């Protein structure tokens, strides 16, 4: 799959990197969050956010949306052990003034990466805020508060957010979707292991709730590709 190398940000020669194609409002990305955090202990991770609910796909919270996501949430909780809080289930999902929009949180992730390389940390905090605390992670004020929660400097985050907003975020989303198509990913989440110019889509969904087995598999793949 060496023809796909141009889809990836250049890295160190010989380095092994895990590329994570995601969306901050994707429930299945929340399902794999413990596995991604575990992987980050042993491998560098590059984030590629695909904008599942960005632009024309942004969604107001309606009874229909609630009915659509609730079965997935139950399935995610059953398979992964991830928690869905009361403030999310009977708060945010009932708030018809709220809008699910992936673009602002993606901008925030890019800003956190720009100033401190901490996009994954902010993504994790966003997922907790959304799925447990029932907060509106499409709200820039909420995003700033979450950035402060993980220790980012407020003025630096504000400046980086302004820089990444709009066209840079949209270009990132477009590139992430192109990458997803090139690697033949089935959707969000998709993880791709890059090693020595080769790229392999890694099955993460089969390891839900099994972080030790997942790390063993990831270590095996990393060694075989190095």
Domains and CATH numbers, the chain: 2-33+42-225 (3.40.30.10)
45 closest CA partner among 223, 189, 206, 212: 189
The counts of H helices and E strands in the chain are: 10, 6
Angle 58-83-28 from CA coordinates, rounded to 5°: 45
User: What's the average pLDDT block by block, 10 residues per block, for the chain (226 residues)?
Assistant: 33 73 98 96 96 97 98 98 98 98 98 98 98 98 98 98 98 97 95 90 95 92 71
* Rounded CA separation 88/91 (Å): 5
pLDDT at residue 15, rounded to an integer: 78
CA distances from 110 to 121, 145, 173, 176 (A): 12, 16, 11, 13
* Rounded CA separation 112/106 (Å): 10
Residues linked to residue 202 through DSSP beta bridges, in sequence order: 191
pLDDT at residue 14, rounded to an integer: 53
pTM of the entire predicted model: 0.92
Task: Provide φ and ψ at 58, rounded to 5°.
Answer: -65, 145
């Amino acid at each position: 799959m060496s023809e796909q190398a141009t889809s990836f940000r250049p890295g160190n020669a010989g380095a092994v990197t895990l590329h994570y194609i995601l969306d901050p409002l994707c429930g299945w990305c929340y399902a794999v969050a413990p596995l991604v955090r575990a992987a980050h202990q042993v491998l560098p991770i590059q984030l590629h956010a695909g904008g599942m609910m960005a632009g024309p796909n942004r969604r107001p919270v309606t009874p229909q949306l609630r009915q659509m996501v609730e079965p997935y949430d139950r399935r995610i909780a059953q398979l992964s052990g991830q928690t869905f809080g009361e403030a999310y289930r009977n708060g945010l999902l009932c708030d018809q003034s709220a809008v699910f929009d992936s673009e602002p949180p993606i901008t925030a992730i890019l800003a956190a990466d720009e100033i401190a390389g901490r996009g994954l940390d902010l993504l994790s905090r966003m997922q907790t805020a959304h799925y447990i605390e029932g907060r509106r992670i499409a709200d820039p004020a909420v995003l700033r508060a979450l950035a402060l929660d993980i220790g980012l400097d407020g003025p630096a985050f504000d400046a980086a957010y302004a820089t990444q907003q709009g066209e840079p975020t949209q270009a990132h989303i477009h590139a992430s979707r192109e990458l997803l198509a090139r690697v033949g990913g089935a959707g969000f989440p998709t993880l791709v292991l890059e090693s020595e110019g080769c790229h392999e889509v890694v099955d993460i969904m089969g390891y839900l709730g099994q972080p030790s087995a997942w790390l063993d598999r990831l270590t095996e793949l990393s060694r075989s590709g190095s």
